[in-house]
Structures are given as structure tokens and as C-alpha cells.
Structure 1
Amino acid sequence: MKQMEEANEILSTLNKEGFHAYIVGGAVRDFLLNRRSADIDIVTSAQPDEIRSLFPKTIQMNTEHQTVIVRLNSQLYEVTTFRGDSLQQDLFERDLTINSMAMDVEGNLIDPANGEKDLQGRYLRSVDPVKTMTDDPLRMLRVARFVSELGFAVDEDLMKVIYSNHSILHSVAVERVAKEWLKLFKGIHRQSAFKLLINSSMYESIPGLTLDKDVLNKLSRLDIDQDETDVVCWTVYCLVLNVDNANILKCLALSSQLIRDVNKRLVGYWLRTEQLWTNLSLYDTTIQVAKDIEYIRSLLGEAAYKGTELEQIWGLIPIHSRSELAITGRDLLNETNKQSGPWIKDELRAAEEAVVTNNCENEKECLLEWLERRRK
């Protein structure tokens, strides 16, 4: 794996300077599962200032852990000073045994918590479940996320801790919750994960999310793709909640752009429930948003256009954005000798509609004449 090879360059640099360094956590787990890892984390005996002195491109993270981002060959790697006095103490601080393994530069596995055995047994277990889960309550939601992604069973002692302590999830920052929720929602074993949320009553304690048994059961039946975009996932979430706008997502501290994008799809979805696509509705919605809407309709068991069918309609529309319109606001000012004002926007919109609905050719003189007739 190229990423692991590049990460080993960082290990080698640290080792040459006399520091211990290891790849840890999810990257080791995914390597043993032959899965591609989204991130590669490294731990080291070096302090942050020592790490920064060894690499030309670094960023000091402002977190509770002493983490430095190292940029190498366009990739970013989190390099963190050991939590505790040793690698073993650092590994025992981690959430699950399958994430408590390390690998040195030569590829040797360091596994004091028997994570490889649990990985082979498809088992989620913590070294000290009470301390692990209560130190960072988000880890309880992460357990459900790993059930969703991997389909592993959960250790009985760990489940008892989740049953007894899930209420402290209320204290977790909503931004962290949103990230874990999306990963859980996209997992191929999401039905098992949602069942865990229901059986443990954890869903009652997740901050920022509006969940009940009915919502979770509906979501669990949706065959959403693992690689689906965040905007589609949040749109589906809103639709299952039966809301007509994405304002409910503001409490999750999601970006304004994402909320606007979800709203576009919600508006288009509700419009689509009333009518089939026309040149004008497809033009206003845009092809990508329309494709997302049709995909969502198919997820929800509703009749849906195929992507090729939408492409055919889109291809017949004379223009695909206002920038392609043959006239501008300046043309209207020159033609009418009127003062600038909101009327320009109205006339350009009328011209767009005329072209898109094939009531006028997209030619300057034709459009100016059409608008003049419209005024009269």
C-alpha cells in the first residue's frame, strides 16, 4: 500500500534521530483487513517541537493531544506524542482492541491487547470498557459505527457499559457526532448498527440528531451506497423525518453550504412529487441535483427517472445557465434607456424561461424583440 510506504518514510526519519515511532490504530486494522484506510496515524516518543524540526511542512494541531500534521508527498499524516509513558500505555488508552495495534517501520505488529485475535473473531472489545467509554462518550457511538462498517459482534461487558452510560453522550460536541453518524449511516451493516442503537436506547442520548425507533427502522431499510455524498445522506435523513427544509441540521453545526445544498434537493424533491421533469424545472434544479433527487426517490421506493433519461432531457434544453443567455443587463439598459433596477433581473429571468421553453431562440435580436412585445 503506497500510503503505508510513505508513512514509513516518516517512521524512518524519526527512528534515525533516536525516537520510537509506529503506525497505529485504524490504519493497522485496515491493513490487516486488506482495506484502504482513510487516514494514517503515527505515534512517537518525540515531542511536538522535535517533530516539527524534522519535517519541512508541518502544522501544530490545537487539540488535547500533542499532534502535529506532517505533509509528505501531498498526503497529510497525524503524528502524535505517546499518550502516557510508553507505546503500550498509549495503545491501552484507545477505544477498541482492534484499534489498539501498532506497526513498526519493518512491518512488525505490536499487539498487547490481542486486537488481531478480536479482528479475526470479528469482535469489538475494550481493554477497560468503563474507563474507555466514559473518558470519551463518543466512543459508544463509534462502537455502533464499527458494527455498521465491519459487521462485528460487540463484547457483552462493553454492551453493558453502553446500556448503563449512554446518557453521557449528551456532553459530546455535535460536530463530532455528525461525522460518526455519517460513517454509521453509510456502513453496509447499518441494520445491525441501528438495532444496537435501539436495543441499548443509545439513540435517545445522541446530541443534535432527532431519532426514534420509527426513524431508525426506516433508515435501516434504505440501501444507500457506501460512497454516497454527505449532501444526499443528510437529504435522506431530512426526508425520513418528513421535514420540508434543512434548518433542522443547523443544530449539528454543519456548513452553511451543505445546508443550502440539502435545501436545494428538498425543494426539488417536493416539486418532483407533484410533477414530472420539464425543461424549466430541470433547468432551475440543475442536472446533478435532479440526479440526486431521482436516486433518493429510488431509495425510498418511488418511481424514478434513470440518469440517462435525465441526460436526454437536459441535452435538449437550449441553455444550461444564465451565463449562456445571448443578452445581458447592459443590453437591456442600452435598448430601453431606462435606469438600472430590479426590472433587469425580472426581464433576464423572462428571457431565460422563453429560451428554455423554446418560445424564443437564444439570439440577441430575437430576445430583445420578444421582451419588447412582452412589455407592451
Structure 2
Amino acid sequence: MGKAYNEAVTFLSLLKKHDITGWLVGGCVRDWIKNGRDYMPRDLDITVNASAEEIKLIFNRAHRMSNRHETAVLHHRGHVYELTALKGAGISEDLAARDFTCNAMAVDVNGNLLDPYDGAEAVHSGFIKAVDPSRCFREDPLRILRALRFVSQFGWSMDSRTEAACIKEIKELRGTAVERIKDECSLLLQGSFAERALRMADTFRLFEHLPEPVQAGPLCLWRYQINKLDDGLMRWAGLFLILYGGKGSAVLGSWSFSNKWKKELRHLLEAVKNHDYKQDSYTLFRAGREQAVRGYLLHQWKYDYTPSEKELESFYARLDALPIKTKKDLALDGKDILRHFPDLSSAHYGRLLYVLEKKVVIGEIANKKEQLLEEAAIFVKERGKESDA
């Protein structure tokens, strides 16, 4: 019973043997209150009356995190502990400096719960309450998104003072680093109650203060059930469709997505905009099976349509029927082309591969090396005539 909990409290005893006082804090305590002590938290956070360097002197396997806090990370007996120096003179000041009451609880070395702000009651009643609303969001406006993330993850509500403070400080979100906003939005979109969180964000007029602002009245979020979308990439694409309509691809650069995500999001947004799921086989081939399916489902979601099992099977059958599924499936590779056509320029080489794969996909020629070489010879001959002209 409560294996992770008991081992974490035992670790506090180990710290005490080294004259370090520690308390379990934050999300792990909140999750034990919410789910019971048998729950295995993702993070085990401990606040200690020691610096990261002092922790490293005691535990040579500990390493310091590259953040602005005095945090050391230690892998110990199957758990990962993050040990951070106390904020203030003691645990009372540390808890007073935290964001929400659900995160302002601690467990001491004897297993006693310290709960000066009734965080356990907030967890059981499903309310997000700031410890000090006027300070909380002024100190770090990103906490507004964090509060909305808890709405998305847990289906909780906000108390009136916390909600009023969010609305008051929402404009300060514009000064927050784009990377931090994007990461918090990603967590929000993963939640089981993301729709509820987005609707609340709309009432806060949060979308006017994003990296790419949306200057508009209340959005018709009730029309879009974003929780019907299966993964983070599709939910981001869905959010961009809600916020930016057909201009989503043009504003991707305002966010700090990786190049890979930018490419995949751009494909999805353009596929929906251009109805690409209805296009020819080559369009589906270029997208790749996974992205083609995503584009199809996203388009149906945009128009509030759920395809039947028969319709899905028909779409999958189109993908399965493609003569080749990837470029690697082409029976003629780059070495073959260069061996038969050593004088082919790099520009013409790329164009030739494009022509060959497209003709195979749309069924003009078979995916056989002999036929591909014949088609390549015709291509090279025509390029030679163009050069002579």
C-alpha cells in the first residue's frame, strides 16, 4: 500500500541523517490527495533547507538542473527526486510563495500533511484557488495558462477571486516567452477537459494575448469538440483552425514549434483548407499514410462530421491501394539513375525522381525497374533537347 509514498517519506529520513530537512511538496502531494497513496506520481518534488551544491556533495550521482532555482535531480531506488532549496526562511514561507492552494501542501519526515491554505479541500471539491490571487498572476502571468491547464486535466473550476485575478492580469501574458506559452498550451490541449478550458480562456479574452493575437469577439468554441481529436498535433491544428481559420499556416512562425512540427502542422492546415483528402492519389502519397489520415479526420471534425466505419474503411482502402507507400518503395533508386545517366544534373535528378514516383502512384507506369529506366531515358532525352535549344 502506498509504495511510492512510503519510499518518498523514507527518503526524507535519509536526508535528515545528513542534517538536511526536506518536505515533499507540489504535484506529488496534490496527486496523492486526489488519487490516494497508491498513486505513482510522475514527479517527486522535495523542498530542502540546502543548496543544490550541498546536495551534490552528499549524493555524488545528483546533478544540478539548468534553471533559475537551486534544484538538484537525483535518481534513487527507482524514483527521480527533484530537490529544490526552500523559498524563504522556512516551509511556511515556501508554501506561501506557491501558486495554487492545491500545490501549497507539504508532507514532512513523519508523514504529516502540512496544509495551511486548505489545499486538500480544494482538491476534493475540484476548485483551483490561488494562494494570493493578486500576487500570483502578477508575479508570473504564465500561471493563468497553468490554471487553465488544471481545468483541462482535472475538469476543475476556478473560484471567483482567482478567475477575477486572471482576467485582470491577462494582458501581461504578452511579455511571456513564446516557448513557455507554447509548452503550457501543449499540456492544456492534452487534457480530457480541453474544451472546457478553451471556453474559459475565451471568456478571459486570452486569445488576444497569444504570440499571434486573435482580435475578435467571443469565438464559437461550442461548435468545436476538440477532445474528439486524438493526439497533440491534431489538437494544435484544430486550435489553429478555430483561432485563425484559413490563415493558420501563415502564422505558424509566430510560435516556437520545431521545424518538424511546423511542417506537419502546415500540411494538416493546408490539407483541410484545400480539401486534399478528396484529391488524387499522389497528394495522399506525398502526405504519407499517417498525415493523410490526420488530414481526413481533421477535415471531417472541422465540419462536425463523424465518418462512418464504412467511410473510414473506404479511405484506408485508397491508401492501401497506392502502388508505392514511400519513396523507398520505388524500384529504381538513385544509384541506378546515376549509373545509367552519369551526366544528369542535380536539378534534373530531383525532377526525374518526382516524375517517376508520380507516374507510378497515379498508375501511368508499373513500379518495375525496366519500365522506370525506359521512362527515365525519355525524360533525359527531352531535357537534352531543351539544353540544345
TM, length-normalised to structure 2: 0.83
Q: 2:372 aligns with which of 363, 367, 371?
A: 367
Q: Deviation at 1:213?
A: 5.6
Q: 1:346 to 1:30 in 2, by over 3 A?
A: same
Q: Residue in 2 aligned with 1:327?
A: 332
Match of 1:237 in 2: 239
Instruction: Name the structure 2 match of 1:357.
Output: 362
Structure 2 counterparts to residues 1-376 of structure 1, below 5 A: 7=8, 10-34=11-35, 37-72=41-76, 76-104=80-108, 107-204=111-208, 206-211=209-214, 216-218=219-221, 220-225=222-227, 228-240=230-242, 241-244=244-247, 246-271=249-274, 273=275, 276-300=278-302, 301-302=304-305, 304=307, 308-373=313-378, 375=381
Relative to 1, partners in 2 of residues 1:189 and 1:326: Cα closer, same or farther, differing over 3 Å? Answer: closer
What's the CA shift for 1:259? 1.2
CA-CA distance at 1:48 after TM superposition:
0.5
Note the residue ranges of structure 2 that are not aligned, 5 or more in a row. Answer: 383-389
Residues 118-165 of structure 1, C-alpha deviations (whole Å, 9 max, x = no match): 212222222322122222122223223323333333223323323333
Distance 1:317 1:16, change over 3 A: farther
Going from structure 1 to structure 2, the CA distance change for 1:54 and 1:307 (only over 3 Å counts) comes to farther
How far apart, CA to CA, are the structure 2 residues paired with 1:223 and 1:343? 47
Matches of 2:219 and 2:138, distance apart in 1: 25
Structure 2 CA distance for partners of 1:233 and 1:214, relative to 1, 3 Å: farther
- Worse-superposed segment, 123-132 or 64-73: 64-73
In structure 1, the gaps of 5 or more residues are none
In 2, Cα distance between equivalents of 1:264 and 1:210: 22
Residue identity matched to 2:142: L
CA distance in 2, matches of 1:368, 1:57: 60
C-alpha change, 1:164 and 1:274, in structure 2 (3 Å) is closer
CA distance in 2, matches of 1:2, 1:228: 33
Contact 1:149 1:184 in 2 (8 A): yes
1:99/1:228 CA distance change after superposition, 3 Å:
farther
Contact 1:333–1:340 under 8 Å retained in 2: no
Q: Aligned letter for 1:363?
A: K
Partner Cα separation in structure 2 for residue 314 and residue 53 of structure 1: 58
Q: Distance in 1 between matches of 2:22 and 2:314?
A: 54
**Cα distance in 1 between the residues matched to 2:78 and 2:369:** 47
- Percent identity at matched positions? 26
SS of the residue corresponding to residue 246 of structure 2 reads: coil
Describe the SS at the equivalent of 1:33: helix
Tell me which moved more, 146-155 or 341-350.
146-155
Over 3 Å counting, the alpha-carbon distance change for 1:77 and 1:340 in structure 2 is: farther
Shift of the 6–352 alpha-carbon distance from structure 1 to 2, 3 Å rule, reads: farther
Asked whether the 8 Å contact 1:6–1:72 carries over to 2, the reply is no
- Say how many residue pairs are matched: 373
Quickly say closer, same or farther: Cα 1:169–1:332, change in 2 above 3 A.
closer
Q: Which amino acid aligns with 1:25?
A: G
Measured after TM superposition, the shift of residue 94 of structure 1 is: 0.9
Give the C-alpha shift of residue 277 in structure 1: 4.9
- Contact 1:67–1:78 under 8 Å retained in 2: yes
Q: Equivalent residue for 2:386?
A: none
Residues 239-262 of structure 1: CA deviation (Å, up to 9, x unaligned): 221134534132232222221221
Q: Deviations over 1:263-304 (max 9, x none)?
A: 122233334x16625432221110110121122123221465
1:53 positional shift:
2.7
Cα distance, 1:44–1:349 mapped onto 2, change above 3 Å: same
Q: 1:67 touches 1:80 (CA, 8 Å); kept in 2?
A: yes
Stretch moving more, 69-78 or 175-184: 69-78
The amino acid across from 2:211 in the alignment is: G
Distance 1:216-1:327 versus aligned 2 partners, 3 A rule: same
Structure 2 counterpart of 1:21, which letter?
Answer: G
Taking only aligned residues, the RMSD between alpha carbons, in angstroms, comes to 3.0
Cα distance between partner residues in 1 of 2:228 and 2:180: 19
